[in-house]
Structure 1
Amino acid sequence: MGTMALAIHGGCGVMSPGSQPEAEWAEARAALAEALGAGWRVLSAGGRALDAVEAAVVVLEDSPHFNAGHGAALNADGEHELDASIMDGAGRLAGAVIGVRRARNPVRAARAVLDGGEAVILAGPAADAYAGARGAALVDPSYFTTERRRDNLLSMKARGQAGTGAAASEAEKHGTVGAVALDRDGHLAAATSTGGYTNKPAGRVGDSPIPGAGTYAEDGVCAVSGTGQGEAFIRHALAHDVAARMRYRGDALDAATAGVIADLTPRGTGAGLIALDAAGRVAMPFNTGGMFRGWATPDGDGFVATHGQVFALGRLGA
């Protein structure tokens, strides 16, 4: 049996421990644990890494604690425009959707694009229709809206008028979810999903649905899912840069991932990522106050964290 590995994230940022009650941090950790379990069940049953990352991200999209799917950020017009991508390291196949408003789980819409093989990225109502025609659940856009996100939008608009946007908490601004996996057959996969950032211009596209920017997977090298300031990730082709450092320069995973984050830090760019290499080693660097994250060892032991403290989950599926 080959080595299996799985890692997930729910976004990085300022994330002051006092920015929300401890009960909400605990609920977010529970959602991370549920996502880890969903992905690990796929892998431990001999399933594909591609199916594992999709399963894990679906759980995070369904949780109101993260900015993807239900609970996603609202744009400046008070609407949701959801982005997602998924990539299979076997053959470097990818599918992505931009600006969907009806696909309940944008990662499933992205998977439909990948499986369809007719395009890599579809956008807007056409992407929703394409996914729906291939079995993805469609919902009224109001499904994604929560009271917290409505409050966030009002707060960010007020901050914009007052010129205090830079002082906004992570909860007010943005977030992303993602997963990376290695299956028993040695295949790698990655997936990323987001609502963008609160009060973003209508039509804005970040890094999450761009293969090579926010998501990348290549068998024999690595799988990456990023979170942070998407415009910088696009300009730096950040996810692919990790693979390039490993493939061309011979960097180990830790050095490659730390290097791409270090390149962004002097520019004041908040950034984090999760990554796996072909041996199942995990890297999770971030330069912000915290990052929602979780991972499983090859033996199936699970762990989750938001800040420095790590919470052990025990054997997943036990």
Structure 2
Amino acid sequence: MLLVVPALGQAQSATSAAPDPSRITLVIHGGAGTITRALMTPEKEQAYQQALNQALDAGYAVLKRGGTSPDAVEAAIRIMEDSPLFNAGKGAVFTHDGRNEMDAAIMDGRTLAAGSVAGITVVRNPIRAARAVMEQSEHVLLTGPGAEQFAREKGLDIVEPGYFYTEARHQQLEKALAEERKPGTPDQLNAPSAAPEKGKAKIKAGKAQGAVLPNEQIFTEGKKYGTVGAVALDQFGNLAAATSTGGMTNKRYGRVGDAPIIGAGTYADNQSCAVSCTGWGEYFLRATVARDVAARMEFAGQAVGAAAQATIDKVGKLGGDGGLIAVDAKGNIAMPFNSAGMYRAYIRASGERKVQIYKNE
């Protein structure tokens, strides 16, 4: 599935310093996977439409007042991180041990500066931690307790792990554990009878904080990679990309996917494009998807739409599924995916916007 939308503005070179408000463009995604009309209720569809529009509004407001592309992608991501609808921040899935472990990354296409975090459990907005790494440290990637210590030292909003508890995600973990216990499942011999004890303590703490939303039963879903992402072109011609995720339900061993890995799930370069990915992370890592799109543009002279589609085709041939969003230095965008659906949306300087969920929209 490929959508390429030609730019409306008369963008100049991506390296131009002259402001041109007509070129601003923002694209976001909220995950890809088994997202079909058959699995969607009107209430659930409306909830996703509203959340995606809120994220667009937040990032667009930044761009319209002359803000930078990193500011815009962070603003859009934070809206989705604060929503239980998406597998990022508040809506992060549970690991095998009953924890919510989050990853995030951001990259500035003007300077190639980048920052990311992985395996964090107490930072309310992981994308803020990633940006702090990019702008306030000499590093690119921080993980686990070290990343959390860094976030505390930088004054970021720290919460109790129970803040991330949602009943829908808890039910997803219980379902996954039940599947593991079925005879013939590879991990069946090691599968616990329920969430591990240390996980139960965190789950209980989450419930005690009253984090169960009264209507969140409408947010249950089929197989979906709910990673969120944003890419933007600002009036100065600069690109940025950001991605945030809670990983995969029932993941073990400190698994980290593509989202926080620069060049795999996140990449931005003014000379080519900005990319944020969502899907089965192992395949996106192996295919270095985000950088692959940029490289096809840089070295093969492909347009962003062709480059993005070719890279998703490459993922499919490997056996992976998912999608990506991309924008180039002229404001052309692409949103290809090979799954049943992908939450995706864009907005332009004129205010033209589109929010899409299913294939063939």
TM-score normalised by the chain length of structure 1 = 0.93
What corresponds to 2:125 in structure 1?
105
What corresponds to 1:15 in structure 2?
35
The separation in 1 between residues aligned to 2:72 and 2:237, in whole angstroms, is 13
1:244 to 1:121, Cα distance in 2 relative to 1, 3 A? same
Give the CA deviation at 1:20: 4.0
What corresponds to 2:233 in structure 1?
182
What corresponds to 1:256 in structure 2?
307
User: Are the equivalent residues in 2 in contact too, given 1:53–1:190 (CA < 8 A)?
Assistant: yes
1:40 to 1:173, Cα distance in 2 relative to 1, 3 A? closer
Amino acid at match of 1:213: A
Matching residue within 321, 326, 330 for 1:275: 326
The answer to whether residue 104 in structure 2 is matched with residue 84 in structure 1 is yes
User: Are the equivalent residues in 2 in contact too, given 1:215–1:224 (CA < 8 A)?
Assistant: yes
Give the CA deviation at 1:297: 2.3
User: Are the equivalent residues in 1 in contact too, given 2:116–2:141 (CA < 8 A)?
Assistant: yes
The answer to whether residue 155 in structure 2 is matched with residue 135 in structure 1 is yes
Which deviations, in whole Å up to 9, do the C-alpha atoms of 1:262-310 show, x marking residues without a partner? 1121333112000000000110000011000110123121211111475
* Equivalent residue runs for 1:1-318 within 5 Å: 1-2=20-21, 3-162=23-182, 171=222, 174-308=225-359
Give the CA deviation at 1:117: 3.1
Amino acid at match of 1:244: A
Give the CA deviation at 1:16: 2.7
The separation in 1 between residues aligned to 2:223 and 2:253, in whole angstroms, is 17
The separation in 1 between residues aligned to 2:62 and 2:99, in whole angstroms, is 34
Which deviations, in whole Å up to 9, do the C-alpha atoms of 1:242-278 show, x marking residues without a partner? 0000000000001100000111213331120000000
Give the CA deviation at 1:17: 2.2
1:241 to 1:95, Cα distance in 2 relative to 1, 3 A? same
Amino acid at match of 1:216: Y
Which deviations, in whole Å up to 9, do the C-alpha atoms of 1:83-103 show, x marking residues without a partner? 000000011000000100010
User: Are the equivalent residues in 2 in contact too, given 1:67–1:176 (CA < 8 A)?
Assistant: yes
TM-score normalised by the chain length of structure 2 = 0.82
User: Are the equivalent residues in 2 in contact too, given 1:35–1:57 (CA < 8 A)?
Assistant: yes
Which deviations, in whole Å up to 9, do the C-alpha atoms of 1:13-32 show, x marking residues without a partner? 01132324220121011000
How many positions carry a matched residue from both structures?
307
In structure 2, the gaps of 5 or more residues are: 1-19, 187-219
Computing the radius of gyration from Cα coordinates, the structure with the larger value is 2
The separation in 1 between residues aligned to 2:297 and 2:360, in whole angstroms, is 29
1:201 to 1:34, Cα distance in 2 relative to 1, 3 A? same
Amino acid at match of 2:79: V
User: Are the equivalent residues in 1 in contact too, given 2:91–2:166 (CA < 8 A)?
Assistant: yes
In structure 1, the gaps of 5 or more residues are: 311-318
Higher-RCO chain (CA-CA 8 Å, sequence separation at least 6): 2
What corresponds to 1:314 in structure 2?
none
Secondary structure in structure 2 of the residue aligned to 1:70: helix
User: Are the equivalent residues in 2 in contact too, given 1:207–1:231 (CA < 8 A)?
Assistant: yes
The separation in 2 between residues aligned to 1:266 and 1:119, in whole angstroms, is 34
Superposition RMSD on alpha carbons, in Å?
1.6
1:30 to 1:66, Cα distance in 2 relative to 1, 3 A? same
User: Are the equivalent residues in 2 in contact too, given 1:153–1:172 (CA < 8 A)?
Assistant: no
Give me the identity figure in percent: 49
The separation in 1 between residues aligned to 2:24 and 2:180, in whole angstroms, is 46
Which deviations, in whole Å up to 9, do the C-alpha atoms of 1:108-135 show, x marking residues without a partner? 0101101113210111111112112212
